[in-house]
Structure 1
Amino acid sequence: MTGAPTLIYTTFESDEEAKRTARILIDERLVACANHLAPATSQYIWEGTFCEDREYPVLLKTTETRAQATMARLRSLHSYDTPAILCWTTDYSDRDYAKWLSGQITKPRHQK
Structure 2
Amino acid sequence: MTQSKPPFDDPLEAAFTQARQTMPPLPDGLMARVLADAAAEMPRPVRQPWWRQIFGTLGGWPAVAGLAMTACVGVWVGGTLTDDLMLSLSPLDEATLDFGAGLGAFDLLLVDG
Structure number with higher helix proportion: 2
Structure number with higher strand proportion: 1
- Whether these two folds match at TM > 0.5 is no
TM-score (norm 2): 0.17
Query: Of the two, which has the highest radius of gyration?
Result: 2
TM-score (norm 1): 0.17
